[in-house]
């Protein structure tokens, strides 16, 4: 079984209420008043409600939901751009909400970098100057800082563009500068708020691939906000789905796709191409027994679409599942076919009622 990595960021019982008297409104929320009634009866907006999430070191945690679900509000609590009404946020075991001005400044400068949807580049600064800005704010400079900035621009595919200005670059190129800037800060945590949502679909796919490629080497703790389920399933090690400021379901994306626990999530995933998203490891029989009449070997991380192509659609076949040169399970094509059938919203509702 895959060993869990240590928790980097821990969020416990986090609430955010917007309005003139959030503390009083909090009592109503804890007594059971929901988001619509809180606004209608008490004139306050419920931003976040009892959020409990662990974000693990070196993993990508994706927070997703529709507009107004609270995802951008949540990410801004991590570096205290927004102050909570109640709850706790810990980074490396330290209570961020107890930080004074100096420790909070150090957190934002050294531990957390942020990539924004609107790029947030300084138009009067060159691409290289934008990239090295976090280190210059920390008082660093000189040739070593410029060399490091150039290195990261090269890594994100912007070799030779250091002397250009942001308005000379396309949207996708500007976002690459934003990523290079975050990487150049050398912070262990990257916060990415709808970082790719303003980009054209093909450029957006390229940026997702770039992020995953860099993550294989750098192992940052990344908190990624999106409203796009395809993007979430592609990027997430841990997926958190929000609705009206509360967590509806969280966990490994494959598990959520196979076992949604709420009609809201069933609706969310109804149009997903399951064969393209689901992996062999999620539906295989975990075993080291050899099996009989095997048609060949497949990799644990292959998607089901590729296995269907290999099998020619024959549901009577069985495959040995390999990972790292060792057998980790057996794949039965009949299990694969069953996994392609979406869970009915009514069934999900029954499971929630029975829980």
Question: pLDDT tens-digit profile of 38-83?
Answer: 999 999 999 999 999 999 999 999 999 988 899 999 999 999 999 9
Q: What pLDDT is attached to residue 350?
A: 52
Domain shared by 63 and 198, yes or no: yes
Number of domains within the chain = 2
Burial of 43 (0-12, 13-18, 19+ CB in 10 A): exposed
154 φ, ψ (degrees, to nearest 5): -60, -40
- When pLDDT is cut at 50, 70 and 90, the band that residue 136 belongs to is confident
Residue span of the structural domain in which 150 resides: 57-87+100-258
Please check whether residue 136 lies inside any domain of the structure: yes
Domain shared by 251 and 290, yes or no: no
Domain shared by 173 and 291, yes or no: no
Q: Which of 66-75, 239-248, 277-286, 345-354 has the lowest mean pLDDT?
A: 345-354
Please check whether residue 12 lies inside any domain of the structure: no
Please check whether residue 167 lies inside any domain of the structure: yes
Please check whether residue 166 lies inside any domain of the structure: yes
Range 128-142 average pLDDT: 87
Please check whether residue 34 lies inside any domain of the structure: no
Please check whether residue 22 lies inside any domain of the structure: no
Q: What pLDDT is attached to residue 347?
A: 56
Q: Is the dihedral of CA 109, 115, 121, 127 positive or negative?
A: positive
- When pLDDT is cut at 50, 70 and 90, the band that residue 349 belongs to is very low
Q: What pLDDT is attached to residue 272?
A: 86
- When pLDDT is cut at 50, 70 and 90, the band that residue 334 belongs to is very high
Alpha-carbon distance 48 to 335, whole Å? 39
Q: Is pLDDT above 50 for 355?
A: no
Q: CATH number, domain at 331?
A: 3.10.580.10
What are the pLDDT digits (tens) for 88-100? 999 999 999 999 9
What are the pLDDT digits (tens) for 154-200? 988 899 999 999 999 988 888 889 889 988 888 999 999 988 887 88
Percent of the chain predicted with pLDDT > 90: 66
Domain shared by 186 and 251, yes or no: yes
Domain shared by 244 and 178, yes or no: yes
- When pLDDT is cut at 50, 70 and 90, the band that residue 346 belongs to is very low
Domain shared by 254 and 129, yes or no: yes
Domain shared by 65 and 207, yes or no: yes
Domain shared by 286 and 220, yes or no: no
Q: CATH number, domain at 241?
A: 3.40.50.300
Domain shared by 169 and 318, yes or no: no
Alpha-carbon distance 204 to 119, whole Å? 14
Please check whether residue 206 lies inside any domain of the structure: yes
């Amino acid at each position: 079984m895959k060993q869990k990595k240590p928790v980097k960021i821990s969020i416990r019982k986090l609430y955010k209420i917007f309005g003139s008297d959030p503390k009083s409104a909090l009592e109503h929320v804890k007594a059971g008043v929901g988001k619509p009634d809180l606004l209608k009866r008490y004139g306050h907006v419920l931003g976040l409600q009892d959020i409990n999430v662990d974000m693990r070191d070196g993993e990508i945690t994706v927070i997703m939901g529709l507009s107004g679900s609270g995802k951008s509000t949540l990410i801004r609590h991590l570096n205290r751009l927004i102050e909570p009404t109640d709850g706790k946020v810990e980074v490396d075991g330290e209570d961020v909400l107890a930080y004074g001005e100096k420790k909070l400044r150090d957190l934002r400068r050294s531990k957390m970098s942020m990539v924004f949807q609107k790029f947030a580049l300084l138009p009067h600064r060159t691409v290289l100057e934008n990239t090295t800005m976090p280190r210059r704010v920390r008082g660093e400079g000189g040739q070593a800082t410029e060399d490091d900035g150039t290195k990261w621009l090269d890594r994100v595919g912007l070799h030779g563009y250091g002397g250009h200005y942001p308005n000379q670059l396309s949207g996708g190129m500007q976002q690459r500068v934003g990523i290079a800037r975050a990487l150049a800060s050398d912070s262990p945590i990257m916060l990415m708020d709808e970082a790719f949502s303003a980009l054209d679909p093909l450029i957006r796919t390229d940026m997702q691939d770039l992020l995953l490629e860099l993550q294989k080497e750098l192992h940052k703790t990344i908190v990624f906000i999106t409203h796009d389920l395809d993007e979430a399933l592609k990027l997430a090690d841990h997926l958190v789905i929000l609705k009206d400021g509360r967590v509806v379901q969280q966990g490994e994306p494959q598990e959520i796709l196979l076992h949604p626990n709420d009609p809201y999530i069933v609706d969310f995933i109804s149009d997903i191409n399951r064969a393209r998203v689901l992996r062999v490891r999620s539906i295989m029989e975990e075993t080291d027994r050899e099996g009989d009449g095997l048609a060949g070997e497949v990799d644990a991380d292959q998607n089901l679409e590729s296995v269907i192509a290999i099998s020619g659609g024959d549901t009577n076949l069985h495959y040995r599942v390999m990972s790292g040169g060792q057998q980790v399970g057996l794949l039965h094509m009949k299990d694969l076919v069953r996994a392609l059938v979406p869970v009915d919203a009514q069934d999900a509702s029954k499971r929630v009622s029975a829980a």
